Structure 1
Amino acid sequence: MGATADKIKGTANEAIGKAKQGVGEAVGSERLQGEGLIQEGKGHAQKAVGDAKQAAKDAVDKASDFAQRKL
């Protein structure tokens, strides 16, 4: 999965997790609140993976550009 896809899925999981937490709070379901908290955490992690992939790609691109200029 690419960096952008990871970031999109992460954002979606964060939003769904927050919604689950809100619904769980509204109906008094600790289980639903917990599921939402876990899903939101998963979203944060997915976004971090996407950011790391993007940073790695940017570093490779920069190194490649530098190498091309030196040739």
Structure 2
Amino acid sequence: MSIKDRAKATAKNVEGKIQETMGNVTDNPKAQSEGKAKQVEAKVRHTTEDVKDEAKKIAE
């Protein structure tokens, strides 16, 4: 996984955590769910890139 892709996924995760927390503080269910969705998106990105990395290792 490139450092750039990993940084983007990590940033998306942090953004999601902040948004979810703000939704909790303000009692805003929409912000909570959007924050959780961003965290899931970040996890999927990390997993996808991890699979790519493993495939490269196998191919070598």
Q: What TM-score do you get using the length of structure 2 for normalisation?
A: 0.87
The residue aligned with 2:49 is: 50
**For residues 21-64 of structure 1, what are the alpha-carbon distances to aligned partners after superposition, in whole Å with 9 as ceiling and x for unaligned?**
00111111110000000000000000001101111111112xxx
Higher deviation after alignment, 39-48 or 4-13: 4-13
Identity %: 24
RMSD: 1.1
8 A Cα contact 1:7 1:51, kept in partner: no
- Of the two, which has the highest radius of gyration? 1
Distance between the aligned counterparts of 1:56 and 1:9, measured in 2? 21
**Structure 2 spans left out of the alignment, 5+ residues:** none
**Structure 1 spans left out of the alignment, 5+ residues:** 62-71
Moved segments of 4+, more than 6 Å: none
1:29 paired to 2:33: no
Aligned length: 59
Task: Give the AA of the match of 2:29.
Answer: E
Please report how far the alpha carbon of residue 16 of structure 1 lies from its aligned counterpart in structure 2 after TM superposition. Answer: 0.7
Q: Give the SS at the match of 1:41.
A: helix
